[in-house]
Structure 1
Amino acid sequence: MHVVLRGDESNGPPAAAVPPPWTAVVDPALRAVVDAVIREPHRPWTIARLARLAGVSRATLVRRFSAATGMGVADFLTRIRMTVAADLLTTTERSLDDIAARVGYRSPSAFGRAFRTTTGMTPARLRRSAAEYGHWPT
């Protein structure tokens, strides 16, 4: 099951056929940011903290990240978190509280709002849909 994150709906190839823009990041400073967020989506990342990790100013990080990926740093962080959450929702039976915490949300309700805004559906609806279509662990 492919979860479309808002912004993927274009007139180009299907989102599943197009690699995410951050996979092509070759700048070592930006690669460090991308890798850190993917490795630890639960951390309380801020642009300032990510800029320090990259060894650049906040303004430089924002400018270079946008130029390299076509998206803002905060959008990237949200997309990674929601992608991880969608995977956990459709491949595990973890609670919403646990999934919210694993992707950096202290509150399941805040997580639910962010998930719905990003994906267009609630976490519960995604989970039901995955179970309905046989995308659930055996």
Structure 2
Amino acid sequence: MDGSSPAIHGSAPQHVFAYGSLVDPECLDQVLGHRHAGERLAARLVGYERITTAAYPFPYIVAAGGRSVDGVLIMDLTAYDIQALDRYEEVDKGIYERRPVEVEVWGCGPRTMHLQAQTYVACPALVASTSG
């Protein structure tokens, strides 16, 4: 990991998998600076683990085979929205990095769908600073 995040391409809508404070619609709207009108779908991210520790006020995720994280897929975010989320997640300070992922989404009929999204994963410095 080099701490850089994927580029934001054009004006195509982006989807973000949220698992912590951004699951709350009011928090999301405050971070974005406007009401998010896009869909929010129950989702699962396989191959990651959610970590909560007294040493850091927010949960974070790390890659972990055989584990999964439940959360919300926030649909149809603009490039400006993604930039606002990057600021909130302190990507430029190396706290989190935005990473492309595939999430499982259900509630869209009888089948589980797999959709491309982005999510915020803890950078090694955050993990090291909060580990025992």
In the superposition, the TM-score normalised over structure 2's length comes to 0.26
Greater per-residue helix proportion:
1
Higher strand share: 2
TM-score using structure 1 length:
0.25
